[in-house]
Amino acid sequence: MIEFINALGEAFYIFLTALLHIFKDRPKLRHFVDRVIYIGADTVPVVVITSLFTGGVLALQTYSTLHEFNSEYLIGALVALSMGRELGPVLTSLMVVARVGSAITASIGTMKVTEQIDALETLAINPYAYITSPILFACMIDLPLLTILSDISGIIGGYLVSTLIFHINGHMYWDKTKEIVDFYDIYGGLYKAFAYGIVIATVSNYFGFKTSGGNQGVGRATTSSVVISSMLILILDYFLTAIIYT
C-alpha cells in the first residue's frame, strides 16, 4: 500500500512538473512540434482503419435487432452515439497506448539506463522540461483531434455497411443521425479523450523514469506502462461516463 501511494505521488509530481514547464522554461518549439506529429499525425492510419471497421461491425451487429422492429434507419444514430460517447475516445486512446505509450516508455527508459538523463542534469538541462513537457502537451492536443477523426471514420464505416450491404437509404442514415445525436454527445467524448491523453503521458513518463536493470528493465517498464495505462483508461471511462452523461 505504501509503495502504491509513493508511486501515485511520484506520477502526480511528474505530471505537475511537466504541466508547469509547458508554460515555464519550456524547450524549443521544434520539440513540441516533433511530438505532436509523432503522437498525432503518425497515428492517423491506425485510428482510421480501426474506427472504420468498428463502425462497420456496429452496423452489422445492430441491423438484425433493429430490423425486427422496422427501425433499421436508426443504425446511423446508434453508430454515431456509440462512437462519440464511448468507442471513439476509448479505442483511440488504446491505439495510442499501444503504438506511442510503449515507445515513449522504452525511449525514456533507455535514456535512463544509459545515463543520458544524468547527462542532461549535468548540463543543467531539466529532464522534465526537456522530455516530459512536449509529450504531455502533444497528448493533450492530439487525443481529442484523433478522437474526432475516429468518430468520423466510425460513422462512415457504419454508413458503408448500411448502404452497401443492407441497402438502407443513405439520406435517411444521415438525417436520423443529425436528428438524434447532439453535439454534447461528441463534446463529452472529447473531454474523455483529453483526460486519457493526460493519463497516457503521465504513466508513460513515470515508468520511463522509473526504469532500472538494463535492457530487461526497459522491457518490464514498457509492459507495465501499456498494461497500467489501458487499465486506467477503462476505469476512468466508467467514472467520466457517470459524471458527463448521467
The whole-angstrom separation of Cα 130 and Cα 22 is 10
For residue 142, how far is the Cα from the chain centroid? 8
pTM score, whole prediction: 0.92
Q: Which residue has the cell 445525436?
A: 181
pLDDT band, very low/low/confident/very high, at 1 (cuts 50, 70, 90): low
Hey, how many other C-beta atoms are within 10 angstroms of the C-beta on 34? 13
Question: What percent of the chain shows pLDDT beyond 90?
Answer: 62
For residue 23, give the H/E element and its range: helix 2-23
Which of 233, 223, 227, 224 lies closest to 198, judged by CA? 233
* Domain residue ranges in the chain: 38-245
pLDDT in tens, 149-190: 999 999 999 999 999 999 999 999 999 999 999 988 999 999
The string of pLDDT tens digits covering residues 99-113 is: 999 999 999 999 988
73: confidence class by pLDDT, cuts 50, 70, 90: confident
- Mean pLDDT of the 137-159 span: 96
Q: Is the pLDDT of residue 25 over 70?
A: no
User: Cβ distance 209 to 121 under 8 Å?
Assistant: no
